[in-house]
Structure 1
Amino acid sequence: MTAIGQAAPPFTLQASDNQTISLSQFHGKNVVLYFYPKDMTPGCTTEACDFRDFHPKFSELDTVVLGISPDTVKSHDKFIAKHELPFTLLADPDHEVAEAYGVWVLKKMYGREYMGVERSTFVIDKEGNIAKVWPKVKVKGHVQEVLQFVEEELQK
C-alpha cells in the first residue's frame, strides 16, 4: 500500500458527467481519495452518503472528495443521481489505480476467494503527497475521522 509521505500515484480516469479527471488538476488542494468496492451496496452507499453529508465541511477546508471503484461511469451516474452525491466518482474498471494504491487485494467471502477493492481512504496534501492512509475501513464513523484529520493536521 502507498505509504505516508510518498508522492501519490498519478492517475487519469473517466468520471461521472462524461469528464476525464486527473489527480494533477487538484494540485494546491487537499484530496480525500476513497476506494470502495461497488455502487449501490449497503456499506458503499452508507459511506458515500456520509461523504455527501459532510461535503460542505470538506469544501470549506479546501478539500476535494473523489470516490473510485471498478464500476462503470453509467453505474456511477445512477449512484450519484439516486443519492444526490455532490462529489465526483471515478471509474477504474481495469483496477489500475486500485493496484497502484495497493487496494486491489485477494478477498474471501463465504469460503470463496476473489480479487477486489479493499475499502480504503487516502488523504493527499496540497503538494500531492500521501498525508494519511486508512486501510480496511469500517464505515461507521469513518468520514468524521477523515474530516477531523483534515481539520487538525492539514489546516496548520
Structure 2
Amino acid sequence: MQLTKNFTLAELVASSKAAQLGIDNTPPPELVPRLVLTAQMLQAVRDKLGVAITVTSGYRCRQLNQAVGGVTSSDHTQGHAADIVAPGYGTPTQIARTLAPLVSVLGIGQLILEGVKGKQWVHLSTRVPTVPANRVITITDRGTQLGIQELP
C-alpha cells in the first residue's frame, strides 16, 4: 500500500529480525492511520534532505519490539516512529543537525540522534513528548543528553 509518494506500508513494517524469528509484524488496522502520518512526516524529511532515506526500523509489534530490545513504551509499537539513515545526505549527526531546527515545520514530534553499540541512526516520531526538553535529544551508550551532541 502506497502511503506517500516515496513510502509504502511494506517499507514501514519490514523487519529482517521479524523474518528471522518468524514474527508476524502486520500492524492492526487501527494503527494504519498513524503509519500514514509517520509516512507523511518521513516524506517531508525526504523532501527537505533532497535524497532517499532508508527506514531501518518502523512499526514493531510488541513481540518484535521485545526481540530487538526496545523499551516497552516505544513509539514504534504504536506506529508513531521510524529510525532512518540517509547516506546520500551524510551521517546521522549531519541529518539530525539539519532537522533539529525544523521539527515543528516537518511534523516531527521527537528527534533522537542515536549512537548505541557502534551503530548510528536518527529516530523520528510524530508523537510530541510530554517534557518539551525531550523533543530533540541524543542517546549514546553513555546515556541521554539534551540537543544534538557529537557521537563517539
Structure 2 length as normaliser, TM-score?
A: 0.30
Higher strand share: 1
Q: TM-score of the superposition, structure 1-length normalised?
A: 0.30
